[in-house]
Copies of this chain bind each other. A is one copy, B any other.
Amino acid sequence: MKPKKTTIHDIADKLNITASTVSRALNNNPRISDTTKKAVLDMAKDLHYQPNNIAAALRSGKSQLIGIIVPTINRSFFSSVIRGVEEVANTLNYRVVVSQSYEIFENEVATVNAMLNARVDGVIASIGKNTKNYEHYTNLIKKGIPLVLFDRTTNKIGTSQVVIDDFLGGYMATEHLIQQGCTKIVHFTSSKKVNIYKDRYRGYKEALNDYNIAFNESLVCKGNMQLEDGRIAAEQLLALNKEFDGIFSSSDYAAMGAIQILKEKGIKIPEEVAVAGFSNEPFTSFTDPALTSISQFPIEMGRAAAELFFDMLHTEKKKFIPQKTVLQPELVIRTSSLKTIK
């Protein structure tokens, strides 16, 4: 019934050569003559030969698979990183296996394990917010499986990572608000445990310091960085009669939430309060006012992660030194912070 799949043996038989020769010819092995190569390639086409990556993977120990672990796929930042990874993986004949942790530690562990079972050649991951134990990741490293962390990373395990300079991003956003005349700048942040928020916070403080503006801890709001958190924070600031003329939020969503509340209360943006977010989410250019933000170049980040991955793959484990690619953030100025020009 089923038209039995053709293998290298079928090609070999037709050509009166051996399977090894066919295998070599297909892999463009230099020791095979051009004539045989051509004959093999032609016959492969004739027989509709379809290489079996699985068999090759079992034999060679290389699956040509890269595992990607992200909290959730349908967030612009993460899907863009995946896009970047896929772009370069694709050109090198690698496939990309994705899975989500949903910020749940157990899922993250399980998913690393699944990647291990699938025998991926390496893993590119962004750490979940609630992850404090990195054993599942160090396990990978112990087994000699390349691991590249991006964005939400950690220095506690020695592996390559790619991040943007979050400190600089925080600094740039804050500096920009200061230059627009703000002196009482609110900051929205999240858990200190997460490197990215910690660094953006540091950048904020440093900018204040450099411009001789006193740091006021009561203007720092902690939350979960969602739209709702921004709304709540803004409401509380107003309820407490805090004076402020600028907001630097570590998340575009929280910034947006604050903007909604301010608009509802009739507070003018940017005239009375200038706002800057972080991430340059696609929606930031569509809002009213359009939201100033910090671009993280997620596609480039994905490409960089893939490159670090292939570096690792081609380096002997003992010779390997963890690399860190730091991308430069970019301040994207939009109406929400443009006091002067308006």
Contact = CB atoms under 8 A, between A and B. Distances in A.
A90 B113 CA distance: 12
A52 interface: yes
B287 A117 contact: no
A148 interface: no
Given A73-B82, A96-B97, A54 B57 contact: yes
A52 B298 CA distance: 33
B79 A74 contact: yes
A14 to B, nearest CB: 21
A86 to B, nearest CB: 6
A339 to B, nearest CB: 19
A90 B73 CA distance: 13
Nearest to A90: B99
B86 A73 contact: yes
A52 B120 CA distance: 11
A136 B337 CA distance: 51
Interface residues of A, number: 47
A76 interface: yes
A84 to B, nearest CB: 9
Interface string A116-144: 11110000000000000000000000001
A90 B118 CA distance: 13
Given A54-B54, A96-B99, A283-B283, A74 B72 contact: no
Per assembly, the copies of the chain total 2
A104 to B, nearest CB: 12
Contacts of A87: 100
A327 interface: no
Nearest to A287: B286
Contacts of A83: 72-74, 100
B99 A114 contact: no
A325 B299 CA distance: 33
A23 interface: no
25 contacts: A2-B144, A50-B116, A50-B117, A52-B119, A53-B117, A53-B119, A54-B58, A64-B118, A65-B118, A73-B82, A74-B76, A74-B298, A75-B79, A78-B79, A86-B100, A93-B114, A95-B97, A95-B99, A95-B118, A96-B99, A97-B97, A256-B286, A282-B283, A283-B287, A287-B287
Contacts of A50: 113, 116-117
A11 B299 CA distance: 44
Interface string A270-302: 000000000000110011100000000011000
Contacts of A239: none
A54 to B, nearest CB: 5
Interface in A35-57: 50-55, 57
